Chains A and B, each alone.
Chain A
Amino acid sequence: MSVLALEAVASGYGATPVLRGVDFNIEAGSVVALLGRNGMGKTTCMSTIAGVVPVTSGKISFNGADITSESAIQRSRRGIGLVPETRQVFASCTVREHLTMAARNGPRGEGRWTLDRLFETFRVLGDRSAALGTQLSGGEQQMLAIARALSSNPDLLLLDEPSEGLAPSVVLEIAEVLRELVRSNEHGAIVLVEQNVELALSVATRVLVMSTGQIVFDGSRDEFVEARDVQEKYIGVG
């Protein structure tokens, strides 16, 4: 069953178009890596799905419902959780408060991600539950941003550059957290935007490649690994 479907979606900022007819489907239980060079529209794509950037044309469906004209608030309540590139951790709130603030039952009334389970998955957050957002290291802030999104029990988790700006040792921790999320991904889907291709391929089952606001490759992880020309042309590796 398709969790998310984008049909010829275009969006941008003011008069500047960024996405130019994006099409893809995401099935339940899948983990999709959205790759591409900087400035190709990956973050805009995530923000458009989350409702932060408005759609100028095309259609977005989520769990079978047309959400194209819905606000970020409505989409969040439907079960779309975004972990933004900038983390956006609140300086004056403790770790516990971040998670309490965002806690909500999922779209079907279920509460898979309780505070206990979050602290079990993100042990460092449990240890630092009384620390303020600004007292956390970059890696801890990233984990908090992911945990905060999970505490609303989303059906679709959008992760935008979770390893950006982190030390290699911290990236390994984040990678382990992502693998844990993939293992525990009961019936939702995860879309991961990541510059670190190695990290992305270690968790994703499917790869989308974006270039100048369009999807230029859509295939399985193995197909992407084989597609050297795509890697060279659109990612800069290979």
Chain B
Amino acid sequence: MSKKRTTNDLPMESSSTTGAARTDGAASGGSSTATRGNPARRPRWKQPLATGVAAALLILLPLLLTPFHQDLATRIVILALLAMSLDLIYGYAGMISLGHAAFFGAGGYTVGMLMVDGGVTNFWVGMAVSVLVASVVAAIVGFVALRTRGIYFILVTFAMGQMIYSLAQQWDVLQTSGAEAVVGIAPPEVSPLVIQWTSLNMYYFTLVVAGVAALVLYLLVSSRYGLVLRGIRENQQRMSALGYNTWLYQYSAFIAAGAIAGVAGVLFAYYSGIMAPANVGIAQSGLIVLMIIIGGVGRLWGGVIGAVVVELAGFLADQYAPDHKNLVLGALFVVALVVLRAIAITGKKRASRRRSEEGAHVHA
């Protein structure tokens, strides 16, 4: 009887192939033609070096900042995680959602209400319940939205996001002290640790939690699961013909992204002390889309770059043109789309030319 073969039996470096998509070039030993111009084939030392530099910056830079700027850094970390979570479904699974802030809000509102109304200050309980609620909201929205495709999917996520926004605006349960928001959210008790909540400690706490969530995302997209999601993004019908239940993959990715957005929402609630309808609305969802478009779709760290650019632009606009912040962000969006589209077209032309040359070379 033949032995049951599994993915692990395949003669590869590891089953984590998607991550290797951008790094396995040096390890795989391809031909010289494959090496030329292949973005997958970058020197082996580059990614660890970049990761090391980024980690050092994330850990050390806040030590040099004022508390005000440390708060800004905390906000950037949270929004970077939120953007990364959207990239799981947009960049990897090919679904553009305009209601992603709803899950961010579900997490933030839940932890806020637990603390303000229920007196639950424990981080672990608050996080677990909030992520569960965000996942359930994502499961409901995804179940409805994934009955559609393309522009209809975008519109359904937009509509459902707006419904949740209206709920946050009008439902008394989601408001405290007569305000149209949940206010008075305090930093949590992270037993067994005893944390003195300074701006710097809030930053490091946020960085650790967001780092763990980002690692989960990385493991997801680096696995065969992530590879299948990319295949679905490329051609859903082909993936079905290869035997994959594409709906289930997309649905599970939608819920996972919602859960991670919920983590970001919880962190935001602790950081800001308030959850307001504006945090779950279309403007927030649009900003997240803008972040991953600017940073690069389909690569998790693109969300980090996008969050840094968008938040710094917003911060500078607040400083120097406070009345025109939305104008600045709108202009940034337009410029980013025009420039990135031009880059994409140039890249496609270059790839097409290279393919022709290589084809001629191979078959000469």
Contact = CB atoms under 8 A, between A and B. Distances in A.
Contacts of A114: 5, 9-11
Given A102-B242, A137-B362, A97 B237 contact: no
Contact of B33 (A76, A93, A128): A128
B54 to A, nearest CB: 23
A164 to B, nearest CB: 16
B235 interface: yes
Given A96-B17, A97-B18, A100-B10, A130 B25 contact: yes
Nearest to A138: B359
Given A100-B227, A101-B224, A131 B7 contact: no
Contact of A131 (B3, B34, B234, B241): B34
B363 A88 contact: no
A97 B17 contact: yes
A72 B240 contact: yes
Interface in B1-47: 2-5, 7, 9-12, 15, 17-18, 20-21, 24-25, 28-31, 33-35, 37-41
B355 interface: yes
Nearest to A91: B234
A80 to B, nearest CB: 9
Nearest to B354: A135
Contacts of A110: 2, 5
Given A97-B21, A100-B7, A103-B7, A84 B238 contact: yes
Among B10, B15, B238, B243, residue most surrounded by chain A Cβ atoms (within 10 Å) = B243
A55 interface: no
Contact of A101 (B35, B227, B352): B227
Interface in A9-57: 50-52
A88 B238 contact: yes
B10 A130 contact: no
Contacts of B28: 96, 129-130
Interface in A64-116: 71-73, 76-77, 82, 84, 88, 90-94, 96-97, 100-105, 108-111, 114-116
Interface in B43-72: none
Nearest to B246: A73
A124 interface: yes
A74 B38 CA distance: 36
A137 B243 contact: no
Contacts, number: 149
Contacts of A181: none
A135 B38 contact: yes
A211 interface: no
Contacts of A198: none
Among A71, A110, A115, A130, residue most surrounded by chain B Cβ atoms (within 10 Å) = A130
A223 to B, nearest CB: 33
B24 A130 contact: yes
Given A114-B10, A138-B359, A104 B34 contact: no
Contacts of A72: 237, 240-241
Interface in A123-137: 124, 127-132, 134-137
**6 closest Cβ contacts across the A-B interface?**
A111-B5, A137-B359, A76-B243, A90-B234, A131-B34, A130-B30
23 contacts: A50-B241, A71-B240, A72-B240, A73-B245, A76-B240, A76-B243, A90-B234, A93-B230, A93-B231, A100-B7, A100-B12, A100-B227, A101-B224, A103-B7, A111-B2, A114-B9, A129-B28, A130-B35, A131-B38, A132-B40, A134-B352, A134-B355, A135-B34
Interface of B: 2-5, 7, 9-12, 15, 17-18, 20-21, 24-25, 28-31, 33-35, 37-41, 224, 227-228, 230-231, 233-235, 237-238, 240-245, 298, 351-352, 354-355, 358-359, 362-363
